[in-house]
Structure 1
Amino acid sequence: MKEERKESLNLAYRYYETEDYKRKDQLSSGLAETHEQVNDAYIEGEIRQTNNGANGQDLPD
């Protein structure tokens, strides 16, 4: 039981490392993919639709 808990904690405290792109295990693959998605979203930024009035003026949200 103690060994299972230790293994679970090792997985829970695992974070992305650049080597994850080269590793073949499921956890590394998931961390690398999630890192790529977050990075893409950060680089792209937020795209917000503006509310334009009849004269093209921005209206409050």
Structure 2
Amino acid sequence: MAKKKNQMNEDSRKIAEKDFEPSYYNEESQFEKGLAETHEQVSDDYSEGTIDRKEGKED
């Protein structure tokens, strides 16, 4: 059981250490596709700005 838990921790570390790469848009793995989609959503929201800006209010 301890060996299986250590393997799970090792696998978790490998995933946690990954950063977004633009090539992930063309990959087949679920993890890389999900990371690419999440990156796109965050990028779109960041570019859009705040709720005030979305409603057309000015500072």
TM over 0.5: yes
The alignment partner of 1:14 has SS state of: coil
User: Which of 19, 24, 30 in structure 2 is aligned with 1:15?
Assistant: 19
1:41: Cα distance to partner? 0.5
1:36: which partner in 2?
40
- Provide structure 1 residue ranges, at least 5 long, that are not aligned to the other structure: 51-61
In the superposition, the TM-score normalised over structure 2's length comes to 0.69
Question: Could you tell me which residue of structure 2 aligns to residue 53 of structure 1?
Answer: none
Aligned-residue Cα RMSD (Å) equals: 1.6
Shift in Å, 1:5: 2.5
- The letter of the residue matching 2:24 is D
Over the matched positions of the two proteins, sequence identity in percent amounts to: 38
**Structure with more of its chain in helix, by fraction:** 2
Name which one, 1 or 2, has greater alpha-carbon Rg. 1
What is the match of residue 4 of structure 1? 8
Q: Which amino acid aligns with 1:45?
A: G
